Amino acid sequence: MNYDIDFFYVLKGIDQLLDGLIVTVQLTLTSVVFGVIGGFLVCLMAMSQSRLIRLPTMAFIEVFRCTPALIQIVWIFYCVPMLFNLFLDPFVMGVLALSLNLIAFNAEAYRAAIQAIPKAHLDASIALGLTPLQTNLYVILPQAIRLGMPVLVTNAISIFQQSALVAIVAIEDLMYMGKLLSTETYRPIETFTFVALMYFAIALPVMLLSSRLEKRYKTANS
């Protein structure tokens, strides 16, 4: 079988792919914001002394960490409207599904980071008379973000990649537009190769920046 690789028609539809990329980036950035904030709050709840708070929170974390993201997306899109009579914009539903997944993984990243914070810092906050809220905001959160940054960035890149799954529920992201273009041009190899390169071109610089920041932090503290 002879197949000639030809990117002409794919490049001709680049505007279509860029429109999808914009949606993908919007989905990712919104989910990352909710994931960073919500992950910290869920982490604090999972470390609570109250079993009524801790156990349901731990169950939430394990459910979203131990089930496929694809099933989570499909369940939220189709089951939530039927069970709760709640109908939201598809983009909002996509953000909800991706954010819940990211919150669960970030909560574990924060937990490991918080456990690495020297106990002397917490003792100092008590000695200074800081309230629990002030301690969480001004002592724990900044250090947890800094210590957990490599994992948080990795999780963000992962959710950027997993955002491609929302194409299955017809959100017009990069993957969805790639599927349309491959159907229109009959060039699936070229189309999905180009789509993969677009994902790679965004994910790689973010990963390299994260590695550089991590090395700088280790150097500053060595």
pLDDT digits (tens, 9 = 90+) for 147-203: 888 899 999 999 999 999 999 988 999 999 999 999 998 889 999 999 999 999 999
Q: What is the pTM of this model?
A: 0.90
In a domain, 84, yes or no: yes
- Give the model's pLDDT for residue 19: 96
Q: Is residue 82 part of a domain?
A: yes
Q: Could you tell me if 164 and 107 are in contact, meaning their C-beta atoms sit under 8 angstroms apart?
A: no
Rg (C-alpha) for the chain, rounded Å, is: 21
> What pLDDT digit, counting tens, does each position of 18-69 carry?
999 999 999 999 999 999 999 999 999 999 999 999 999 999 999 999 999 9
143 C-beta neighbours (distance < 10 Å), count: 16
- Within a domain: 186: yes
pLDDT in the model for residue 7: 87
Structural domain harbouring 118? 8-220
The C-alpha atoms of residue 150 and residue 156 are separated, in whole angstroms, by: 10
- In a domain, residue 37? The reply is yes
* Distances, alpha carbon 91 to alpha carbons 55, 73, 96, 166, 175, in Å: 31, 12, 9, 9, 14
Query: Is residue 61 situated within a structural domain?
Result: yes
Mean pLDDT of the chain: 91
Task: Read off the CATH number of the domain in which 123 is found.
Answer: 1.10.3720.10
The tokens for 192 are: 């999905």
Q: Is residue 215 part of a domain?
A: yes
- Total domains, the chain: 1
Q: What's residue 147's pLDDT? A: 87
Higher-confidence residue of 212 and 28: namely 28
pLDDT at 220: 62
State pLDDT tens for residues 116-148.
Answer: 888 888 888 888 888 888 998 889 988 898 888
Q: Per the domain annotation, does 3 fall within a domain?
A: no
Structure tokens, 3: 């197949």
Residue 183, domain member (yes or no):
yes
What distance, in Å, lies between the first and last C-alpha atoms of the chain? 59
